Amino acid sequence: MKIKFLFLILFTIGLSHFLFAQTNESSLKVMTYNIWNGFDWGKDTLRQKNLINWVKEQNPDVLALEELCGYDEEKLRKDAAQWGHPYVQILKERGYPTALTSKEPIQLIEKNVDNFWHGLLHVKTFGLDFFVVHLSPSDSDIRLREARQIKSRIKELQSDSFIVLGDFNSHSPLDAYWLEKKGDLRAKNQKKEGDKYDNLRLGQFDYAPISEFFSIPAVDVSLNKIDLEKSFTFPSPVLIGLYDQTAETIIQYRVRIDYILTSPELAQKCVKVEIFNHGIPDTLSDHFPVMAEFKVERD
């Protein structure tokens, strides 16, 4: 009788612990979005309104933003409030700022605009370290230096709960199997006489910056979650008629340059990845947004 009673107590304790753990596990949706020149430095209010409404419908818990041209903290705060984020942090108020908005308080760790093409924003929210990046769009060597600087910071952090996200302007070695077929894109990016910068490495697509992040180690959460060959994040149809782009070249030049990379431990908690590269986002920016959903334990 005593044994049965003891077993019942242990079973009850175990069940309570399991149910407690289950109730403390919740969804965390993280999105990155390059919004394209701050809606033409604030002049394209229709695109701004439509993007705000679309983000609100997706209901991310954390949103990283790139190209907030013409924004200051107050302007960002007004936009973020409309998609349900009372907390914001912006890198700078000139050039091409990055930012992060959240449903929970944000702790600023670092703003660095001196050693990066656009800058690095490191913040903490939801108990996670977020590194919002916008690497150089113009030169492979500069991107590699930026990647190494960020890698060094993450290694020093010694955290198993970090996310690096944003516009990396870089190709992933995971995409080489389909990217290498794009001879027209490679030819378009060849360095021309008199050019100061070079987007290729020795005339070939450059995979070094993303490989640098992988060596931290960091994991591309899109892997095994989506079809990488259909996961392009740039360019979108809004560029048709601009910069010599046509409907045909938009398709020919499709690449994946926006990513969400995480610590291996956090990657195991990723349950879903979406790249919104069809429908309404066709009209909202020249980039497409990426969102990852995690199942995380909450205090």
- Under a CB-based contact definition with an 8 Å cutoff, are residues 234 and 287 in contact? yes
pTM to 2 decimal places: 0.92
Q: What share of the chain is helix, strand, coil (3-state, %, to 5)?
A: 35, 25, 40
| Domain range 26-172+207-297, CATH class | alpha beta
Q: Tens digit of pLDDT for each residue in 48-68? A: 999 999 999 999 999 999 999
pLDDT at 297: 87
192-219 pLDDT per residue, tens = 999 999 999 999 999 999 999 999 999 9
Q: Give residue 280's region: left, alpha or beta (phi > 0; psi -120 to 50).
A: alpha
Peptide bond into 235 cis (omega under 30): yes
At residue 25 the predicted structure's pLDDT band, cuts being 50, 70 and 90, is confident
pLDDT value for 20 = 45
Query: pLDDT of 250-266, one tens digit each?
Result: 999 999 999 999 999 99
Q: Is the pLDDT of residue 13 over 50?
A: no
Domain positions in the chain are 26-172+207-297
CA 89 – CA 211 distance, rounded (Å): 28
CA distances from 281 to 34, 38, 132, 285 (A): 11, 15, 21, 7
Q: Is 252 left (phi over 0), alpha (psi -120 to 50) or beta?
A: alpha
Summarize pLDDT for 109-157 with one digit per residue, the tens.
999 999 999 999 999 999 999 999 999 999 999 999 999 999 999 999 9
**Cα(215)–Cα(212) distance, integer angstroms:** 5
What's the chain's length in residues?
299
DSSP bridge partners of 166: 133, 259
Average of per-residue pLDDT across 178-202 = 96
Burial class (CB in 10 A: 0-12, 13-18, 19+), 1: exposed
